[in-house]
């Protein structure tokens, strides 16, 4: 009996301590505050929705270093031809900093330069791309800035070159870099390049195997990209992304104290995001919504317009929660989940009564057809009878004429 009691007590201890250990582990991975990060500026967003999940001085204007190449890369992919042959200039050949050791006069495809740019952070590749697409580095920078405003909607960025080497007028913010990365990651070619870990490189002056500089690809579960950077003035910058299930997150840290600290920043933000949030689809393209009315009201057709979603809609919600939705009279779909909220614009659907009115008018125009048909038939029949009667009268007259003797005048 004593042995049985000892076994029961031991089992009780095991079962009572297991949940406590599990909660402690979850709490430890879910805590994040700005003072825990080394970077002077940082941000975490949902890659699908753009929802901001964490931020630290996100609008501080700082030097980006080589994360500039995220913008250069997506511009080259969207505005250039991957099969274009680029001739490397002397300026590109002697560009300082990290390179893929292009030779002056070497002819390289634009696609190969994009890999050297994003995987190995080649400053020479960046300059070669800029001169090919913009005639000069300066002209390319102007085109790049205009492109980012048009396509991404940034407001706090100004680039003067394609690589991110220091220039007092070359700056951005963590918030803008998150938007640029979110836009770039929608492109399948860009995603493929930044997710490539190793690539053989056969150049005139350098034959090697490129190893992606982004350590997240090897050290973080579900990592999908993107790019790191460093200059003395910018210190360490890093934009990282990872996907688990249907949720993909993008984290940015700028002016971190060291390379290791920049990776710790991004890892901490990604861990925090996956521990707290998930991306859920809230509507599919073509789905209809009708504005709800308060209880006790008598709804009318005018008070209940119908709206549709032009595309699939997603929302970021706290892990394990179901979002609440509301449709306004103006066609705004409001999604709320905990402290998060997001508004989508819906398209008004054609009212059923409009179609009904059109169907009422249609029979009048259609029914007039048979009436005119009867009239034309009656007129045609009468015309036939008149023509037939006249023809018979003429025939009888000719027959009577033939019966008159030819010497009738002599008889007279």
Q: pLDDT truncated to tens, each residue of the chain (412 aa)? A: 444 444 443 443 333 333 332 323 333 356 899 999 999 999 999 999 999 999 999 999 999 999 999 999 999 999 999 999 999 999 999 999 999 999 999 999 999 999 999 999 999 999 999 999 999 999 999 999 999 999 999 999 999 999 999 999 999 999 999 999 999 999 999 999 999 999 999 999 999 999 999 999 999 999 999 999 999 999 999 999 999 999 999 999 999 999 999 999 999 999 999 999 999 998 888 888 877 655 555 555 555 678 888 889 999 999 988 888 888 877 788 888 888 888 888 887 765 544 444 444 444 444 455 555 666 666 767 776 767 776 777 766 666 655 545 544 443 3
Tell me if 240 sits within 8 A of 226, measured CB to CB.
yes
255 included as an active-site residue? no
Nearest to 214 by CA among 126, 125, 118, 122: 118
Q: How far apart are CA 213 and CA 262, in angstroms?
A: 13
Tokens of 46: 């949902």
Per-residue burial over 179-196, b = 16 or more CB atoms within 10 Å of its CB, e = otherwise: bbbbbbbeeebbbebbbb
Q: Note the pLDDT of residue 286.
A: 84
Greatest C-alpha distance within the chain: 165
> Of the listed 56, 69, 215, 243, which one is catalytic?
69
3-state DSSP call for residue 254? Answer: strand
Encoding tokens for residue 308?
């549709």
Run of H or E residues at 97: none
Nearest-angstrom CA–CA distance, 238 and 400: 117
- Give ∠ CA 209-211-214 in degrees, rounded to 5: 165
Tokens, residue 249? 């997150």
User: What pTM was computed for the model?
Assistant: 0.76
Give the model's pLDDT for residue 292. 63
Structure tokens at 342: 């997001």
Cα 112 from Cα 89, distance rounded (Å) = 16
pLDDT at 351: 54
Residue 170 CB partners (closer than 8 Å, separation 6+): 63, 64, 68, 158, 159, 160, 161, 164
Tell me if residue 354 falls in helix, strand or coil.
helix
The pair of three-digit structure tokens given for residue 110, joined into one six-digit string: 């634009």
| DSSP tag of 112 | H
Q: Give the Cα separation of 344 and 360 in Å (integer).
A: 36
Q: Which H helix or E strand runs over 343?
A: strand 340-345
Catalytic choice (66, 89, 241, 262): 66
* Alpha-carbon distances of 292 from 305, 331, 338, rounded to whole Å: 10, 12, 21
Say how far apart CA 292 and CA 296 lie, in whole Å.
Answer: 12
Strands 223-231 and 85-87: unpaired
Catalytic residue among 121, 243, 255, 264: 121
DSSP-based three-state secondary structure for 378: helix
Give the whole-angstrom CA distance, residue 345 versus residue 188: 27
Burial class (CB in 10 A: 0-12, 13-18, 19+), 111: middle
pLDDT at 387: 73
Task: Give the 3-state secondary structure of residue 196.
Answer: coil
Q: Rounded to the nearest 5 degrees, what angle is found at the Cα of 120, between the Cα atoms of 115 and 124? A: 85
Active-site residue 359, yes or no?
no
Secondary structure element (H or E) that encloses residue 52, with its range: strand 52-56
Is residue 69 flagged as an active site residue? Answer: yes
3-state SS assignment for residue 130: helix
């Amino acid at each position: 009996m004593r042995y049985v009691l000892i076994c029961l007590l031991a089992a009780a201890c095991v079962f009572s301590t297991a949940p406590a250990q599990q909660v402690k582990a979850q709490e430890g991975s879910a805590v994040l505050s700005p003072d825990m990060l080394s970077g002077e500026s940082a941000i975490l967003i949902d890659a699908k929705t753009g929802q901001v999940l964490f931020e630290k001085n996100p609008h501080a204007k700082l030097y980006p270093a080589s994360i500039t190449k995220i913008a250069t890369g997506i511009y080259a992919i969207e505005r250039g031809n991957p099969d274009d042959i680029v001739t490397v200039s002397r300026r590109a050949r002697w560009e300082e900093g990290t390179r893929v050791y292009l030779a002056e006069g070497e002819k390289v495809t634009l696609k190969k330069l994009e890999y050297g740019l994003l995987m190995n952070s080649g400053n020479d590749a960046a300059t070669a791309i800029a001169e090919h697409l913009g005639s000069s580095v300066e002209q390319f920078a102007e085109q790049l800035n205009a492109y980012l405003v048009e396509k991404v909607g940034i407001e706090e960025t100004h680039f003067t070159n394609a690589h991110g080497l220091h220039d007092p007028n070359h700056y951005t913010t963590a918030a803008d870099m998150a938007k640029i990365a979110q836009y770039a990651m929608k492109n399948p070619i860009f995603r493929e390049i930044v997710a490539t870990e190793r690539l053989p490189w056969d150049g005139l002056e350098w034959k090697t195997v490129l190893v992606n500089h982004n350590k997240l690809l090897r050290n973080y579960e579900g990592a999908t990209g993107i790019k790191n950077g460093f200059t003395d003035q910018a210190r360490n910058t890093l934009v990282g992304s990872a996907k688990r299930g249907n949720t993909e997150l993008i984290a940015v840290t700028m002016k971190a104290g060291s390379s290791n600290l920049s990776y710790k920043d991004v890892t901490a933000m990604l861990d925090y995001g996956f521990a707290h949030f998930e991306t859920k689809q809230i509507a599919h393209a073509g789905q209809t919504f009708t504005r709800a009315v308060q209880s006790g009201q008598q709804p009318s057709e005018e008070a209940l317009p119908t709206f549709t979603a032009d595309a699939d809609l997603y929302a970021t919600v706290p892990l394990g929660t179901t979002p609440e939705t509301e449709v306004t009279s103006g066609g705004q779909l409001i999604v709320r989940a905990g402290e998060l909220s997001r508004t989508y614009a819906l398209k008004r659907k054609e009212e059923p009564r409009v179609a009904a009115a059109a169907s009422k008018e249609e029979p009048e125009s259609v029914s007039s057809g048979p009436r005119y048909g009867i009239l034309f038939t009656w007129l045609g029949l009468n015309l036939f009878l008149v023509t037939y009667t006249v023809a018979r009268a003429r025939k009888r007259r000719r027959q009577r004429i033939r019966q008159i003797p030819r010497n009738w005048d002599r008889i007279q």
